[in-house]
Amino acid sequence: MKSKLLSLFLITSSFFFLPSVSFSQGNWTQKTDVSTIPRYWGIGFAIGTKGYIGLGYNSSYPAYQDLWEFNSLTNSWTPKSNFPGGPRIAGIAFSINGKGYVGTGWDGTTFFRDLWEFNPTTNSWTQRTSMPGPSRRSAIAFSIGNKGYVGTGYDSSSNTLNDFWEYDPSTDAWTQLNDFTGLPRLGAVGFSSVNKGYIGTGYYLTNYLNDFWEYDTLTDSWTQLPFYGGDTVYNGVGFSINTKCYIGLGYNGVSNTNDMWVYDTTGLFIKENDSEHLVSIFPNPSNGSLEIKTDLYYSEAQISDLTGKVIYSEKISSGNKLKVENLPKGYYFLTLRNEKETETVKFIIR
C-alpha cells in the first residue's frame, strides 16, 4: 500500500493534515509547521491542491478566528482572510466544488449553528443558511459528491445529539435525514470514502466509544461495521486514502493515545505500526513458519483469519517461531499482547 496523498481531513474537535506525503504503512513525513500559534479544537478542509486550517484554542480565551492555507508544492503556509463568524472552537468544516464551508462550534460562552462559505479565488467569506436544529459544538462533518453532511455533537442545554443533516450549496438549503443510528455522541470522527460516510468513536454521558458506522446516501441508512480496533476514545482523528479508512489518536479517559488503525477492505481494523514499537515477522509471505522479532515483551500470540476467528494461540517471547505449516494458503492476522500493549500485523501463507 503506497500512494501519493494530498488531503486534509476534518475530525470533530481537531484536525489532521497530510500534505503531499509519500504514505506507506508505518511511515510519516513531517512538513513545515503552521506559521502561527499552536492550537487544538480547530477546523480543516482541502480545496484542490491546497489545505486550510484555522480557528481553535490554546488553553485561554478568546479563541482564534484565523485561517491558513498550505501549499503542498512549496511546503509553505499563507494567512488568509479571518473567519467572519468570530473566534470559534470545536466547529465543523467540509469542502464542495472548490469552496470551503465552516460553521457551528463554541466561543467559550455561546454555541453556534451558522454556516460560512470560503472562496479561495477571492479570499472572501459569504454567510449561508444556518444549520437547523440546536446550536452545537463537537459535531462531525464530511462531504459526498455535491452535498455536505453534518451531525451529532453537544448543545447548549447539555444534550448529546444524534441528528443528521444534508446541506446542498446549489440551493443553500438543509434537509434533515434519518438520525444517526448509534448512540448520541460528541468528539467523534467523521469522514467519507468512496461515496459512503463514516462515523466512529466519541463520547456519550460517561462512556468513551469505539463503535464504527457507515452511511449510505442512496438509502439514507446506517450500517454498523466492526468495532474500531483501538481503545474507546474521543477527539481522535479520521481520514481516508483511496478505499481505506484510518482512525487513531484521541483521549481514552486516562491518557492521550498515539496508535493508528486502518479499516481494511477485508472488513477488519488492523493496527498501523507506529514509530514507538517495532514488530516484525519473517519470512512474510511464509510457507511453514514465522519468526517474531519485537522490542517489547509479548506474552501471547494469536492468529486469526479474515473473518476475525482465532485459529491459533500460544504463549511466546521475542524470537519465538510459530509453526504455521498447517494453515491453508491465504491472508492472516497475527496479534501480539501483553498487559498494556496490543500489536496486529498481517501475513500471507503461500
Strand partners of residue 167? 148, 174
The whole domain housing 302 covers 279-349
Same structural domain, 196 and 297: no
3-state helix, strand, coil in the chain (%, to 5): 0, 55, 45
Query: Last residue of some domain: 244, 272, 300?
Result: 272
Co-location of 58 and 131 in the same domain: yes
Q: Does residue 147 sit in the same domain as residue 201?
A: yes
What's the average model confidence in pLDDT over 301-314?
81
Residues 197, 333 within the same domain: no
Same domain, 43 and 107: yes
Task: Give the span between the Cα atoms of 6 and 45, in whole angstroms.
Answer: 11
Q: At which of 272, 297, 312 does a domain end? A: 272
**Are the CB atoms for 234 and 205 separated by under 8 Å?**
no
Alpha carbon distances (Å) from 250 to 16, 75, 138, 219: 12, 27, 13, 31
| Sign of the four-CA dihedral 201, 205, 207, 208 | positive
* Residue 165 shares a structural domain with residue 295: no
- Predicted local confidence at residue 175, as pLDDT: 98
Give the whole-angstrom CA distance, residue 57 versus residue 82. Answer: 15
Considering only residues 331 and 171, tell me which one the structure prediction assigns the higher pLDDT: 171
Confidence (pTM): 0.73
The total number of residues shown for the chain amounts to: 350
Domain count, the chain: 2
* pLDDT higher than threshold 50 for residue 4: no
Give yes or no: residues 146 and 189 share one domain: yes
Residues linked to residue 173 through DSSP beta bridges, in sequence order: 168
CATH of the domain at 331: 2.60.40.3080
- C-alpha distances in angstroms, 130 versus 118, 174, 193, 292, 327? 15, 9, 26, 55, 57
Judged on CB neighbours under 10 Å (0-12, 13-18, 19+), 46 is buried
Closest by alpha carbon to 236, among 223, 250, 224?
250
**Distance between CA atoms of 118 and 24, rounded to whole angstroms?**
32
Is the preceding peptide bond at 285 cis, omega within 30 degrees of 0? yes
- When pLDDT is cut at 50, 70 and 90, the band that residue 25 belongs to is very low
226 and 102 fall within a common domain: yes
CATH number at residue 73: 2.120.10.80
> According to the model, what pLDDT value does residue 266 have?
53
Q: Are 232 and 208 in contact (CB under 8 A)?
A: yes
pLDDT at 316 over 50: yes
Pair (210, 325) in one structural domain:
no
Whether residues 331 and 239 fall in one domain: no
Average pLDDT over residues 52-61: 90
DSSP for 251-297, please give it: B-SSSB---EEEE-TTS-EEEEP-SS--EEEESSSBSSEEEEEESS-
If asked whether residues 56 and 35 sit together in one domain, one would say: yes
Q: Which of 25-29, 60-64, 214-218, 340-344 has the lowest mean pLDDT?
A: 25-29
Q: Which neighbouring-strand residues pair with 21?
A: 5
pLDDT digits (tens, 9 = 90+) for 143-189: 999 999 999 999 999 999 999 999 999 999 999 999 999 999 999 99
The answer to whether residue 346 scores a pLDDT higher than 70 is yes
Residue 282 has pLDDT above 90, yes or no: no
Domain boundary among 248, 272, 296: 272
Does 240 lie in the same domain as 128? yes
